[in-house]
Structure 1
């Protein structure tokens, strides 16, 4: 579905990604693990059009989207759920969810996806008229994921969905990632500091270090890799 080939990305003089290549196939959950500053968020931002690579290409569903406007990328089904949730704090929960569907015209589909999101996150149904900024951190993350689902993703890119959340909420978030993947047939590209949880739900993984892919393979193999265990799993 998604192919990033030989991406080089710069922020001024900083070489953030160095010849990075990553693929996500239909139905997969693929995780990127690495330390802070390794380039994980930059990779997602490059795929979604928020950052333009200096060299390399981004292909989605067989089409080169490296220079495609962001709105067109979203309408094709490549959707980015960003780090830090980025909800609209002064708008209601309902308004935030509706904004996720701003490019869509299929009213019946929008209504169906709206109900799906609220069934997935019952807490949001209880808070539809509440300002999103007054939600807890976990509820805001649920809203960010629900809003992303309203865009009708074929591939959902998620950046640090468990960051700063209580352990019980983290469990919920990872369960929901698996549910979305299985029920909605949505592929997932997951950036996550909690490498143990990420590798537990993923099919494949990549290890990113200082802008380069240093390891890749089936998630189960990475979980038992001595280097990964030492650096990222605390073992």
Structure 2
């Protein structure tokens, strides 16, 4: 579904990614794990067109999207849940969801998208008229995910969904990620909580200083002594 080939990205003189190659097959959950500053978020923002690459290519469902602008990439079927949630603070929950459906011209589709979000996240339905800034961190994460799903993406890019959440909420968010995947949405997941990420992913890539240093099935990486020592606290 997605192929990233020899991707290099620079922020000014600083190299964020160096010849990174990875792929996501249809129906998978693929995790990117690594320390802070390893380049995980840069991969997602480059795929979604927010950051430009210096070299390399990105193909989605056989089409080259390397130089495509971000708003056009959304129409192709890729949506991103940004790190730090970034909800529209002054808008209501419902208005945030409507913003996520900006590419939909059919009012019925928008209505169905909102109902889907409220089914996945019943807490949002209870707060549909509340300003997003009044929500808890967990509720804002649910809203950011619901907003990203409004455009009916075939590939969902999830950036640090557990950041700043209580352990009980982290489990709930990961259960919902699995549920979203089971309904047919392919997922690329960036996550600091490596053990949680590997517990739900099919495959994973380990990044260090902008390079892929290990890749394989999530279960193989979870039992790899180096990974256990570096990322699973063992």
Give how far 1:69 is off. 1.2
Give 1:48-63 correspondences, 5 Å limit: 48-63=48-63
Alignment size in residue pairs:
234
Equivalent residue, structure 1, for 2:217: 218
Structure 1 stretches of 4+ with a deviation exceeding 2 A read 106-110
Give 1:32-181 correspondences, 5 Å limit: 32-181=32-181
Give how far 1:113 is off. 1.9
Q: Deviations for 1:170-224, whole angstroms, at most 9, x for unmatched residues? A: 01100000000002x0000000000000000000000000000000000000000
For structure 1, list consecutive stretches of 5 or more residues without a partner in the other structure.
none
Q: Deviations for 1:91-116, whole angstroms, at most 9, x for unmatched residues? A: 10010001000111133222222111
CA distance in 1, matches of 2:23, 2:106: 30
- Let me know the Cα RMSD of the aligned residues: 0.6
Equivalent residue, structure 2, for 1:11: 11
8 Å contact kept, 2:94–2:114: no
Q: Deviations for 1:136-181, whole angstroms, at most 9, x for unmatched residues? A: 0000000000000101110000000000000110011000000000
8 Å contact kept, 2:8–2:17: yes
CA distance in 1, matches of 2:104, 2:69: 16
CA distance in 2, matches of 1:205, 1:98: 33
CA distance in 2, matches of 1:208, 1:122: 35
TM-score when normalising by structure 2: 0.99
Confirm whether residue 194 of structure 1 aligns to residue 224 of structure 2.
Answer: no
CA distance in 1, matches of 2:106, 2:208: 42
For structure 2, list consecutive stretches of 5 or more residues without a partner in the other structure.
none
CA distance in 1, matches of 2:226, 2:204: 14
TM-score when normalising by structure 1: 0.98
CA distance in 1, matches of 2:21, 2:105: 34
